[in-house]
Structure 1
């Protein structure tokens, strides 16, 4: 970038010059960004901070929580509960919503987050991250309920993630493209390092857990078979496979250089529509990808159009380079 632009300056310009965000939303996003810096410190300390290993508890999905899952969840709640910009929060790690206590002012926004995505990578020092989504409370009734959170993703006011890797990077959209900020550790500030990120429409990379191939639906297997056939196959080009087992890391790679990420339905648990959580993972990532010129579907429908029916709803995910996502979606529709 030609000049150092801080996150605060970027958000002020989005508020003052473009009118895309309100002052309370700006404060909320700055608070989330500060919380991510605190989480980054814990992640970076690793064994030195006694944060590795399990917390010997389970979340609402029955998954064993890591110590850092619990720490990150607490950091985000403590940072945001008192500022006056939120009405309530919801987390992948909590059974139900966390309403702002009466002793604090109640704002107009709702915050949803996966406090630490890619938990299986914590102990092996592979990139993990925090995913967040912001909704407006659209009902006028007093108080907050889970129903207030059940909005389609296209109504998000903002979304983003922070990836804790070789660099700590914050990726954000407020509906005006995608911006990337890198944490300057010496200065303690987020600096804009890329703006108006674009995902190439075509790609030669796909990300999927190949160990589940035998469980996939025919359209998914058809697409991957074509990729694996390489130049001699129907696609006429060689593909590379990438899989980090951390959605944040895989999506960050796609935003950086293109690709398609797939976490489809499979027949191991046929009653579940997918593995990833619609509100905490699929919606914010789909918003980011679309703002960067990509596409995101559940195989048949645009993810941002899905109206949630429950707080921890799951969904199939196909997102990334638009032409590849359109192809996978077409295969699903043909099969249907």
Structure 2
């Protein structure tokens, strides 16, 4: 069976050449990252890096490796005006005539690395609309302005999931030829949900609306929802969202009272916006308790938000529990 390769897919979709170069650059460097992950302990890449990132989180060796590889690959592309990484405090200026800004989480779910579980790279591509000298302000665009977004999932197979604003497509890495081939087109999230994904260990720290919502799900057929739900939790947003794109459901990472000054755990620019773009393109919904995530005007590049995303009807029910 002949399958469409990623470059051919982008060309057929009339994606601008400059944007194609950014996506293909990310695809190429992801192959190198996947090879490092596959070698694991044999390559000495597991374990802590011995430092914290700008988020105050302990870095893994592969966090640093993936971040450096992506930075180097993207900074070499003439179409890239600037970069922003979840792992670094400031934006990086690249080419003064580049058309695009790229934000990325180099290795989402890195706490899973040392147990050989799923991790991924998340990326967002924004048009550059600012002045010649790139500043943080240039990146502060609502998620709806994204030119492209996606992720690479490093699992039993390596997959690239992508949207350029015309639906969502999934590609699988042919590891014999090191090229991505189209395996699923026109992804659609079912409107109704049978599964939910949340870190239940934090339930006591959530706002009342989220506690009541999850409690009603757990009551199943005997509760007010009148049906049973399954719960799944991988502890990597990229893997939990991938499951929702494949078979539906709801994912949420709510506000937590242990850090009341912090809006949520997930970052708007590196996680919520790109994943939100994919989910909306697949027919789902993406909200905070107050409104749609893709409409948020970012205030700074490391801004955090509570996230509720997935099946359209279930997201609206969850939001309603908060707004009652």
Q: Given the two structures, how large is their TM-score scaled by the length of structure 2?
A: 0.99
2:186 is aligned with 1:186? no
Deviation per CA, 1:238-262: give whole Å up to 9, x if none: 1111011000000000000001001
Secondary structure of the residue aligned to 1:57 is strand
Aligned to 2:4: 5
Q: CA deviation at 1:203?
A: 1.2
Q: 1-side partners of 2:265 and 2:96: how far apart?
A: 36
2:53 is aligned with 1:53? no
Q: CA deviation at 1:3?
A: 3.5
Q: 2-side partners of 1:42 and 1:263: how far apart?
A: 29
Structure 1: which 4+ aligned runs deviate by more than 6 Å?
none
Secondary structure of the residue aligned to 1:253 is helix
Q: 1-side partners of 2:55 and 2:3: how far apart?
A: 42
Q: 2-side partners of 1:330 and 1:3: how far apart?
A: 46
Q: 1-side partners of 2:297 and 2:126: how far apart?
A: 14
Q: 2-side partners of 1:99 and 1:38: how far apart?
A: 24
2:133 is aligned with 1:143? yes
Find the partner of 1:234 among 218, 224, 232.
Answer: 224
Aligned to 2:109: 118
Deviation per CA, 1:154-180: give whole Å up to 9, x if none: 000000000000110000000000000
Q: CA deviation at 1:105?
A: 5.9
2:186 is aligned with 1:196? yes
Aligned to 1:108: 99
2:31 is aligned with 1:31? no
User: RMSD of the TM alignment (CA)?
Assistant: 0.9
Deviation per CA, 1:56-112: give whole Å up to 9, x if none: 111111111000000000110111112201111000000100111xxx563110000
Pairwise mapping of residues 248-287 of structure 1 onto structure 2 (< 5 A)? 248-287=238-277
- Give unmatched runs, 5+ long, in structure 1: 16-20
Contact 1:82 1:105 in 2 (8 A): no
Secondary structure of the residue aligned to 2:13 is helix
Q: 1-side partners of 2:320 and 2:74: how far apart?
A: 42
Aligned to 1:18: none
Find the partner of 1:70 among 37, 41, 64.
Answer: 64
Deviation per CA, 1:263-303: give whole Å up to 9, x if none: 00011111111110000000000000000000000112100
Q: 2-side partners of 1:9 and 1:71: how far apart?
A: 30
Secondary structure of the residue aligned to 2:273 is helix
Q: 2-side partners of 1:106 and 1:169: how far apart?
A: 31
- Give unmatched runs, 5+ long, in structure 2: none
Aligned to 1:299: 289
Q: Given the two structures, how large is their TM-score scaled by the length of structure 1?
A: 0.95
Number of matched pairs: 324
Q: 2-side partners of 1:238 and 1:200: how far apart?
A: 17
Contact 1:204 1:240 in 2 (8 A): yes
Contact 2:166 2:281 in 1 (8 A): yes
Q: 1-side partners of 2:144 and 2:2: how far apart?
A: 32
Q: 1-side partners of 2:58 and 2:7: how far apart?
A: 36
Contact 1:133 1:158 in 2 (8 A): yes
Aligned to 1:85: 79
